Amino acid sequence: MLKGRATAQATATYAGRFADLPGNYRETIGVAVSSIGLGTYLGEADDATDAAYAGAIRAALTGGINLIDTAINYRFQRGERVIGATIAAMAAGGAIRREEIVVATKGGYITFDGSMPPDPRAWFEEHFIRPGIVTAADLVEGSHCLTPRWLEAMIAMSRANLGLETIDIYYLHNPEAQLGAVGRDEFKRRLRAAFELLESKAADREIGVYGAATWNGFRVAPDDRGYLSLLELTRLAEEVGGKDHRFRVIQLPYNLAMAEAFTARNQRLPDGAMGNTLAAADALGVAVCASASLLQGRLTRGLPPLLNDAFDGFDSDAQRALQFVRSTPGINVALAGMSSAAHVADNLATARRPPAPFDRLMRLFKRVG
Ligand X SMILES: NC(=O)c1ccc[n+]([C@@H]2O[C@H](COP(=O)([O-])OP(=O)(O)OC[C@H]3O[C@@H](n4cnc5c(N)ncnc54)[C@H](OP(=O)(O)O)[C@@H]3O)[C@@H](O)[C@H]2O)c1
Contact residues: ligand X, CB under 6 A: 39-42, 69, 106, 173-174, 213-215, 251, 291-297, 300, 316, 318, 335-340, 343, 346-347
For ligand X, the closer of residues 18 and 314 by Cβ is 314
Measured from the CB atom, is 47 or 204 closer to ligand X?
Answer: 47
CB of 199 to ligand X, least distance (A): 21
Q: Which is nearer to ligand X, 13 or 296 (CB)?
A: 296
* CB of residue 127 to ligand X, shortest distance in Å: 23
CB-nearer residue toward ligand X: 73 or 234? 73
208 versus 217: smaller Cβ distance to ligand X: 217
Min dist CB 317 to ligand X, Å, is 8
Question: Least distance from C-beta 195 to ligand X, angstroms?
Answer: 18
Tell me the closest approach of the beta carbon of residue 16 to ligand X, in angstroms: 26
| 87-96 contact pairs (CB < 8 A, 24+) | 87/2, 87/57, 87/61, 87/162, 87/163, 87/164, 88/2, 88/163, 90/58, 90/61, 90/62, 91/2, 95/58, 95/61, 95/62, 96/14, 96/61, 96/62
Rounded least distance, CB 144 to ligand X, Å: 12
Report in angstroms how near the CB of residue 180 gets to ligand X at its nearest: 15
Contact call for residues 349 and 315 (beta carbons, < 8 A)? yes
- Rounded (5°) CA angle 135-116-143: 30
Distance CA 239, CA 63 (A): 41
Nearest in space to 290 (alpha carbons), one of 342, 331, 259: 331
For ligand X, give the closer residue by CB, 199 or 346.
346
- Taking the least distance from each CB to ligand X, the nearer of 163 and 337 is 337
Q: How far is the CB of 219 from ligand X (least distance, A)?
A: 11
- Of 237 and 256, which has the nearer Cβ to ligand X? 256
